[in-house]
Amino acid sequence: MTRREEAKGSARPPSRAGSREPVGVPRAASTPGMPVVPGEARWAAIVQDLAGRGVTATPTLVEATAVTWPDGSLGCPRPGFSYTQAIVEGLRVIVEAGGATYDYRFGRGDVPRLCRR
């Protein structure tokens, strides 16, 4: 079963092959650009955010990648906002739900930021 199939229809994030436990988010030492699996808290936060936006379809994990963001905008600056000018280790998680694609960004915490471009 692929990670994408494993995540489909589940409120839990997919796990690595051979393991039933979700894999945690990478530490700062993780290689940027490396595929990862979002931790359970981050997956739950995405599901909750989508529900708050009225999305009733079950999200499917498309891609999750470790990223080193150049600043606090997490690669998705909003006009009129100021951001910390420090490197932020984080995660980019792309999910699909109800035929739409959602691009979520995480810094060090478990609060998702939906990137709309």
DSSP structural state of residue 109: S
> Is 78 strand, coil or helix?
coil
Whether the pLDDT of residue 57 is over 60: the answer is: yes
Which is more confidently placed, 13 or 44? 44
**Average pLDDT across the chain, whole number:** 82
Assign 9 a pLDDT band (cuts: 50, 70, 90). Answer: low
- For residues 32 and 1, give the distance between their C-alpha atoms in angstroms, rounded to a whole number: 26
**Of the candidates 112, 117, 99, 114, the residue with the CA atom closest to the CA atom of residue 38:** 112
Whether the pLDDT of residue 33 is over 50: the answer is: yes
The number of folded domains in the chain is 1
Question: What's the whole-number mean pLDDT along residues 78-97?
Answer: 95
Q: Which domain range does residue 7 map to?
A: 3-115
Task: Report the percentage of the chain scoring pLDDT > 90.
Answer: 68
